[in-house]
Structure 1
Amino acid sequence: MSAENTGTTSGTTPTDGDVHPVDARPTPLRLWAFGAQHVAVMYTGCVAVPLVFGAAVGLDTATIGLLIAADLLVAGFITIVQSLGLSRLFGARLPVVAGASFTAVTPMIAIQGEYGMPAVYGAMLAAGVFGMLVAWPFARLVRFFPPVVRGTAVTIIGLSLVGKAIGLIAGDDPDDPDYAAPDKLALAAGVIVLIVVLTRFARGFLAQTVVLVGLLAGTGAAVFLGMTDFGSVAGAGWFGLPEPFPFGAPEFPLAAVASMCVVMLVIFAESTAYLMAVGDMTGRPVSRADLARGLAADGLSGAVAGAATSFPDTVFAQNVSLVRMTGVRSRFTTAAAGVLLVTLGLMPKLAETVASLPGPVIGAVSLVMFTMVTITGIRTLGAVEYDGTHNGLIVALALGTGMIPVVAPTLYDGFPSWFRIIAGGAISSAVIVAFVLNLFFHHLTAPRTKERV
């Protein structure tokens, strides 16, 4: 029986029987193994943000490398804060991992094109301060994020990320002769089959590390098949510290700051959904204070990222799914993941090693994790009352709107930049529609009573 079903965390040191599984401390071997597994499933998604942003704004490889190092360092720091807490102001103290949010990429690209790089990070710094200031008031709005809104948000996050997993497996350019090559697809399928078999038959520690085992086995197979390239590892340094403000002193154009503040609010909505979901699955419901501290940590990530040339962080979807999949609920395992991320950020050679893991292997694992995210959202939507309400319409319109940028990514190209910032992202558009429609049907207008038959 898994730890999720028994209500205990397997492999923890003897503790008082009243200690909640979230606060249980695993043995050192399990602690670092579970932490490494968390890093493995989120690493590619985390570094994809600086890779996509850097390529879009025309940065050279060396500069993108600096962004990646800063990205890992900030993600690790915020993960530790979220897991263990920082004073009474920051950190949800739950088993969550923070990572760079894709929600910020589109507006950052737009700001760079309009105002330049100093404005990108000036706006981010300002938005981070804004986030820390409004985190506690925002947490008071939790009643406006019932299961119909939270479930829709989590579901669209999972659905919108599936394409990124497929891109890792098959490639992003259909015109590339190596696109969707049979060996890539076979390797990815093999990793997924291994995870399925281990999930069905493995027990104990092995059952809780199936994703890590799949990554290691898939990488071994890729080495045997000649599908790996670790050549860049040799040229990477052993130690490096991100340079603050490498693009010059930050600038604060009003429009750029306003757009990044909107992004911060969307990140808050995203993190709210995940923190509530983690609270439900771990058996530790999230209080208003817990939520406020978690959101304040998101704001802190924006402020730190603005200075360190990184990206604002949010609770990472695939790690939430990993908690559900393995049943390991200890927040100390995600704190260990944070320590590993900081180490990777300070040691470019290790970071380059992890970054060189074969795409089909990472993509296969990501596909499992992202679809598990969708299942988490569907489970939340399963608690929604649909009969005699308008909740079905809320979910339908929000999901439909959210999928528009996924299936027709160029649809909004002719619209003003402020509109593209809001509607051009699957997550932001779906969350806004669900939130507004929930307000309209359940808070701003009198509910319609059921008709008697």
Structure 2
Amino acid sequence: MEGINTKLERVMSEPVRTLLIYALQHIAAMCAGAIAVPIILGGALSLPQEEIQFLVNATLMVSGVGTMIQTLGIGKKFGSRLLMIEGVSFAGVAALTSVASAYNGVDPRLGISIMFGATMISGVFTMIFAPVVGKMLKFFPNLVSGTVVTCMGLSLLPVAIRWIGGGNTASPSFGSFDNLILAGFTLIVILLTQKLSKGFIGNIAILIGLLLGTLVATVFGMADFSAVSTAKIINLNVPFYFGIPKFEISAVLSLILVQMVIMTDATGNQINLMDISNQELSKERLTAGLRGHGLSSFIGGIFNSFPQSLFGQNVGVVALTGKSNRYVGFTAGLLLLTVSIFPKLTALLTSIPYPVLGGAGIIMFGMVAANGIKRLGTVEYNGNRNLVIVATSLGMALIPISVPQIFNNFSPWANILFKSPITLGALTVVILNIIFNELGKNKKMEVSNG
């Protein structure tokens, strides 16, 4: 066994035990977001609790497979070979919930089969469309990419704030002093660890904060581990557990639109990660990452899960720790795959209290925004309209963050598009950059040369 570990360490450039700890930090950061979608959709279909738990474990399994595809790659066509964590996307919840509402009480299994069929087709669409997005990299200079990444961070921060309050805004205990103090304690632990420790301990500050926060919550009766005792010991995910997938045109078109939103998000995440990792920005790597993401969604439809996405909170973890070794991601994928087989482990991970996650989320999501601001700091603002472009784009992105109800009168497809702060901000900055900086560029060069 020692010989195998030595070979692995040589390939992965890290001791195996270190990779495991870093990987656990990434899993703890993304777990709450990963399991929320199957719980929401399973509830919308009024599925029994046992089948909702099955969906949760299936989601973690697909997340593990998708993460391994991204980090290791399949040939040169699939996977970015960056420390990316795949997980089920919130962007598809609205579209999938509309399918659920149509079949809830009528035939929930038909409804979920339609969801999985649409997920598969949307994954195929993403794989086909990925090269088109890859060729658009020239439209993502620092002005554009910095704005998009900043929008990503801003769009994630409200999630952390809801977690700080307790997760459910309708709960009477939301925003209680106990929740706020627990979140503040977690935040302070992470900051103190960063301040007082260097090297390995400093790099796992998020994990230390989550562990100590959960420990304090347990002591004061704010953590609920009852799901661990009731969960099954072993659960095996099999293809088409709910039946053969069905293909309904409206559901398929809705998820194709959702995938276009997700690809915008994924493009920003990849550009951010390549920057943090000091990797060259290339359309080939971007295309391979998007293809890998599409393949993950296709596999998700087969193995009882939903459209996948690249998780922004994990980009925040990479930015905070400075650890961008892709084998950390591969190890996280392997652990997710393992955890998905044992529901009791899943229940343990999902028992981390929301305020604890919120305290960590403030830093993780804030780091995403900070990296966008850092990139914007390299942009030239004198003698041009770049400041106007950034200001307008950030303002547009803040509309759905601040008042999402403003788009309630829009059609469903427009709602999917405009309720995404990342998509709205990205479209604005790309269009304005073309108008102000690209159009007429050749004429200006000719005049200056003449």
Which range is displaced more, 149-158 or 204-213?
Answer: 149-158
* Equivalent pair of 1:403/1:426 in contact (CA under 8 Å): yes
Is 2:139 the counterpart of 1:144? yes
Question: Given the superposition, is the C-alpha separation of residues 176 and 447 from structure 1 closer, same or farther in structure 2, using an over 3 Å criterion?
Answer: farther
Q: Read off the aligned partner of 1:97 and give its amino acid letter.
A: I
Which range is displaced more, 424-433 or 182-191?
Answer: 424-433
- Aligned sequence identity (%): 35
Distance 2:431 2:236 in 1: 43
Which residue of structure 2 aligns with residue 380 of structure 1? 375
Which residue of structure 2 aligns with residue 104 of structure 1? 92
Is 2:308 the counterpart of 1:313? yes
SS of the residue corresponding to residue 404 of structure 2 reads coil
SS of the residue corresponding to residue 87 of structure 2 reads strand
Q: Read off the aligned partner of 1:79 and give its amino acid letter.
A: T
Residue deviations 1:175-214 (CA, integer Å, cap 9, x gap) = 6432222122111111111111110110222111111111
CA RMSD of aligned residues (A): 2.6
Residue 73 of structure 2 is aligned with which of 85, 104, 108?
85
Distance 2:191 2:167 in 1: 26
Distance 1:188 1:275 in 2: 29
Distance 2:334 2:280 in 1: 26
Which range is displaced more, 393-402 or 225-234?
Answer: 393-402
Shift of 1:243: 4.1
* Equivalent pair of 2:54/2:235 in contact (CA under 8 Å): no
Q: Read off the aligned partner of 1:143 and give its amino acid letter.
A: K
Which range is displaced more, 439-448 or 273-282?
Answer: 439-448
Q: Read off the aligned partner of 1:250 and give its amino acid letter.
A: P
Residue 153 of structure 2 is aligned with which of 143, 154, 158?
158
SS of the residue corresponding to residue 405 of structure 2 reads coil
Which residue of structure 1 aligns with residue 31 of structure 2? 43
SS of the residue corresponding to residue 314 of structure 1 reads strand
Question: Given the superposition, is the C-alpha separation of residues 106 and 440 from structure 1 closer, same or farther in structure 2, using an over 3 Å criterion?
Answer: farther
Structure 1: tracts of 5 or more residues without a match: 1-11, 16-22
Distance 2:421 2:306 in 1: 19
Which residue of structure 1 aligns with residue 3 of structure 2? none
Which residue of structure 1 aligns with residue 56 of structure 2? 68
Shift of 1:240: 1.0
Which residue of structure 1 aligns with residue 200 of structure 2? 205
Shift of 1:221: 0.9
Which residue of structure 2 aligns with residue 355 of structure 1? 350
Is 2:420 the counterpart of 1:425? yes
SS of the residue corresponding to residue 351 of structure 1 reads helix
Shift of 1:262: 2.5
Residue 127 of structure 2 is aligned with which of 127, 132, 135?
132
Distance 2:57 2:24 in 1: 18
Distance 2:167 2:23 in 1: 30
* Equivalent pair of 2:228/2:344 in contact (CA under 8 Å): yes
Q: Read off the aligned partner of 2:120 and give its amino acid letter.
A: L
Which range is displaced more, 339-348 or 172-181?
Answer: 172-181
Shift of 1:111: 4.3
SS of the residue corresponding to residue 411 of structure 1 reads helix
Question: Given the superposition, is the C-alpha separation of residues 255 and 383 from structure 1 closer, same or farther in structure 2, using an over 3 Å criterion?
Answer: farther
* Equivalent pair of 2:78/2:291 in contact (CA under 8 Å): yes
Distance 1:108 1:423 in 2: 17
Is 2:326 the counterpart of 1:331? yes
Residue deviations 1:254-302 (CA, integer Å, cap 9, x gap) = 3432332222222222222221222222222132222111111111011
Which residue of structure 1 aligns with residue 261 of structure 2? 266
* Equivalent pair of 2:41/2:100 in contact (CA under 8 Å): no
Shift of 1:351: 0.4
Is 2:291 the counterpart of 1:296? yes
SS of the residue corresponding to residue 271 of structure 1 reads helix
Shift of 1:346: 1.6
Question: Given the superposition, is the C-alpha separation of residues 442 and 67 from structure 1 closer, same or farther in structure 2, using an over 3 Å criterion?
Answer: farther
* Equivalent pair of 1:128/1:303 in contact (CA under 8 Å): yes
Shift of 1:55: 4.1
Shift of 1:358: 1.5
Question: Given the superposition, is the C-alpha separation of residues 327 and 13 from structure 1 closer, same or farther in structure 2, using an over 3 Å criterion?
Answer: farther
Shift of 1:129: 0.7
Distance 1:58 1:420 in 2: 25
Shift of 1:171: 2.6
Distance 2:52 2:417 in 1: 26
* Equivalent pair of 1:156/1:399 in contact (CA under 8 Å): yes
Shift of 1:24: 4.7
Distance 1:223 1:254 in 2: 48
Shift of 1:33: 0.7
Question: Given the superposition, is the C-alpha separation of residues 167 and 211 from structure 1 closer, same or farther in structure 2, using an over 3 Å criterion?
Answer: same
Residue 214 of structure 1 is aligned with which of 209, 212, 219?
209
Which range is displaced more, 155-164 or 260-269?
Answer: 260-269
Distance 2:220 2:171 in 1: 20
Question: Given the superposition, is the C-alpha separation of residues 178 and 369 from structure 1 closer, same or farther in structure 2, using an over 3 Å criterion?
Answer: same
* Equivalent pair of 1:76/1:339 in contact (CA under 8 Å): yes
Q: Read off the aligned partner of 1:426 and give its amino acid letter.
A: P
Structure 2: tracts of 5 or more residues without a match: 1-6, 104-110
Q: Tell me the matched-pair count.
A: 435
Is 2:183 the counterpart of 1:188? yes
* Equivalent pair of 2:22/2:204 in contact (CA under 8 Å): yes
Residue deviations 1:231-264 (CA, integer Å, cap 9, x gap) = 1111111221234334443333334323322222
